[in-house]
Every structure is written in structure tokens, then in C-alpha cells.
């Protein structure tokens, strides 16, 4: 009888550990987070001709013992001209993922648009931003052991211009740069921001109200892509009804393109909402929850390899905003596994 209690306790501990592992990355299993602020991840020349120190903040679950954790990097918006790594939406996303067991980073990058603010000027701003984003990825891979990062699980997200930057990092190659990129001035696609010799490859992107200059940057076998936007966005179109300084293809177009290539993808519309979902915290939180649910099956913790993951865009989310959460895995995700 004396042995029963210790054995029972061990079994209860095993069950608890398995439950925690199952919930990790889906639910907020950590109540608090820690952060390391103002990490200098690189340096690059800005449009004023000065060397600019590039900073990031790192957010991670407090008291976590896991040695290799998925990484989510957030890139802020602001039309490539303003804002910073510190914002309410970036805080919600980074802290939300960190409480679910991820390591997260929010980064600054070189801002400013030159000359006449032509499409080529915006393309060069994107080019500089994606160079800095790549430098941030390389830095975090270089210091992966220090920060407890799994370099095979690196994901990007952002808001507006940040999502545009994230998609350029994931999908734009050296041989398909937009017209007008001044390579002689700004250098190669990877840039020289720091941590050279490490890969800037990522394993998925969550596009929030961003768009691409050319959807053909996305090719068969590329990283999975989640897309979300308001259908009344007057700044960046959710489709291709208008352009934003050369950015012509919104989330719905990218979703359809990914479907045609068999790339894991999603389209999460917010009917009647504007840019950044009108900064409505309830809608932005719903958007974040959708990202979490979409990302979870792609993580290494899930052994089956997903070859197709799509969202039925005919579901009328505006009739029931909870529909995504209640039906996402039973009705909305279509998955194929390798046997």
C-alpha cells in the first residue's frame, strides 16, 4: 500500500506533463513573460548616409526549461516611414505567442523613403527593410543556443508594411527584384547588417493586411502563408482592386495563388473592417487567435507532414466571429499527410 501513493503521484505527474505539452503552443500555458530589450542585432547605412544601429526586443516565457523553441519575429508597420518595434499590436502578438511557449522578437528596421516617393522609392524602402529583417533572423540563429531557439522553426509576421517585408524575406529572390532597386547603393538581397554566414530562411509567414508587388515571387514548395485583412481596407487592398505604391496583390490573391501551388495557406477575412482592423482590439485578438490555430499544425510537435492546408473562404465569419475557433479543425482545414 505504501508504494501505491508514490506510483500514483508519478503517474499524475506524467499525465500533467503530457497535458501541458499537448496544450503548449495552442494555449497560454505561461502566465508571465520575460524580455531582453534593445538588443543590437546589426548596423546598416540609412537614407541619410549614416550607420544606423538596428535594435530588437526579445520576449519569452518566464521559467521555461525547453531548450529549442519555435521563434516568431514581428515586423512593425508604418508605411516604411514611421512607428517602431514598440506598439500595442506587436506587444499583443509577441506576448501572446510567448505565453504559449514561443520565443518572440520585435524588430526595428531602417525607415524613410527617398526622392519623389515613387513606386521605385517604395520598392527600395522594402528592400532595405527586408535586408534588416534578414539580419535579425541571422542574428537569432547565430545566438539560438543562448536564447533557446529552434532554428528549424522560424516564422515571421507583422502589420501592414511589416507583413510586406516578411513576405519579401520569405519569397523574393535575387534574380526577381522589383524595377529600380539600387543594388550598387544598398548591396545584395541579404545585405551586410551583421551575422553573415547564417541562413535567413524562414518556415512560414503570417500576413496581416499586407500585400506583394508580385505574387509570382511565391513558388511551389515555398513556406506556408497565412493571410488576413479587412474587406473595407482603403489603404492596402485585400484583393487586387487597387495598389499601394506598387504593392498590388493583397491577402486574398496570395491565398488563391498558394492554393494553386499546393502551399499550406489560409484566408481569414474581417468583413467590413478597415486597415489594421480599425485598431479594434477585439478584432485584432480574434485575428491573433486565428494565427495561433493555423500555425499549430505546422510545428514540429505535430509529426504528420501537412501538404495542403486551406481555409474555406465562403464561410461567413461576420455572421459568427467564433466560427473560426469552433470549426477550424473539423471543417476549415483540409489536410493531406504523407504515408
Does residue 337 form part of some domain? no
Encode pLDDT of 73-132 as tens digits: 999 999 999 999 999 999 999 999 999 999 999 999 999 998 888 999 999 999 999 999
Does residue 215 form part of some domain? yes
Residue 7 host element (H or E): helix 4-23
Encode pLDDT of 125-176 as tens digits: 999 999 999 999 999 999 999 999 999 999 999 999 999 999 999 999 999 9
Nearest to 172 by CA among 208, 222, 243, 125: 222
pLDDT at 304: 52
- Supply the mean pLDDT for the chain: 87
Does residue 203 form part of some domain? yes
Does residue 167 form part of some domain? yes
Q: Is the pTM of this model over 0.85?
A: yes
Does residue 297 form part of some domain? yes
Burial class (CB in 10 A: 0-12, 13-18, 19+), 173: exposed
User: 6 CB contacts (<8 Å, ≥6 apart)?
Assistant: none
CA atoms within 13 A on the CB side of 278: 11
pLDDT at 115: 82
Contact in structure between 195 and 189 (CB atoms under 8 Å): no
The cell numbers describing 237, all together, are 487592398
Does residue 19 form part of some domain? no
User: 167 CB contacts (<8 Å, ≥6 apart)?
Assistant: 205, 207, 210, 212, 217, 225, 254
Greatest extent of the chain over all pairs of C-alpha atoms, in Å: 83
Q: Residue 231 maps to which CATH number? A: 3.40.50.1820
Encode pLDDT of 201-252 as tens digits: 999 999 999 999 999 999 999 999 999 999 999 999 999 999 999 999 999 9
Does residue 252 form part of some domain? yes
| Residue 338 binned pLDDT confidence (cut-offs 50, 70, 90) | very low
- Number of structural domains, the chain? 1
Q: In terms of residue numbers, what domain contains 53? A: 36-332
Does residue 22 form part of some domain? no
Amino acid at each position: 500500500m505504501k508504494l501505491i501513493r508514490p506510483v500514483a503521484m508519478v503517474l499524475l505527474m506524467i499525465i500533467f506533463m503530457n497535458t501541458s505539452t499537448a496544450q503548449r503552443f495552442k494555449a497560454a500555458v505561461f502566465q508571465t513573460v520575460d524580455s531582453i530589450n534593445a538588443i543590437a542585432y546589426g548596423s546598416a547605412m540609412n537614407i541619410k548616409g549614416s550607420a544606423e544601429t538596428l535594435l530588437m526586443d526579445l520576449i519569452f516565457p518566464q521559467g521555461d526549461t525547453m531548450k529549442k523553441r519555435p521563434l516568431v519575429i514581428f515586423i512593425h508597420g508604418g508605411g516604411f516611414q514611421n512607428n517602431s518595434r514598440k506598439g500595442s499590436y506587436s506587444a499583443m502578438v509577441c506576448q501572446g505567442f510567448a505565453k504559449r511557449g514561443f520565443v518572440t522578437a520585435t524588430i526595428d528596421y531602417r525607415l524613410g523613403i527617398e526622392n519623389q516617393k515613387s513606386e521605385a522609392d517604395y520598392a527600395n524602402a522594402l528592400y532595405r527593410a527586408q535586408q534588416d529583417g534578414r539580419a535579425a533572423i541571422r542574428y537569432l540563429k547565430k545566438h539560438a543556443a543562448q536564447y533557446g531557439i529552434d532554428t528549424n522553426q522560424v516564422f515571421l509576421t507583422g502589420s501592414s508594411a511589416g507583413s510586406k517585408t516578411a513576405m519579401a524575406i520569405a519569397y523574393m529572390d535575387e534574380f526577381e527584384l522589383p524595377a529600380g532597386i539600387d543594388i550598387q547603393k544598398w548591396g545584395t538581397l541579404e545585405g551586410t547588417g551583421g551575422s553573415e554566414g547564417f541562413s535567413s530562411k524562414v518556415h512560414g509567414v503570417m500576413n496581416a493586411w499586407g500585400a506583394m508587388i508580385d505574387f509570382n515571387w511565391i513558388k511551389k514548395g515555398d513556406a506556408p502563408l497565412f493571410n488576413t485583412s479587412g474587406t473595407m481596407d482603403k489603404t492596402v487592398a485585400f484583393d487586387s482592386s487597387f495598389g499601394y505604391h506598387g504593392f498590388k496583390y493583397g491577402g486574398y490573391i496570395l491565398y488563391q495563388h498558394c492554393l494553386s501551388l499546393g502551399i499550406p495557406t489560409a484566408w481569414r477575412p474581417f468583413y467590413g473592417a478597415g486597415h489594421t482592423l480599425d485598431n479594434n482590439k477585439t478584432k485584432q485578438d480574434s485575428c491573433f487567435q486565428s494565427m495561433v490555430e493555423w500555425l499549430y499544425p505546422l510545428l514540429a510537435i505535430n509529426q504528420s507532414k501537412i501538404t495542403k492546408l486551406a481555409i474555406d473562404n465562403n464561410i461567413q465569419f461576420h455572421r459568427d466571429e467564433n466560427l473560426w475557433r469552433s470549426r477550424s479543425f473539423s471543417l476549415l482545414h483540409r489536410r493531406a499527410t504523407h504515408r
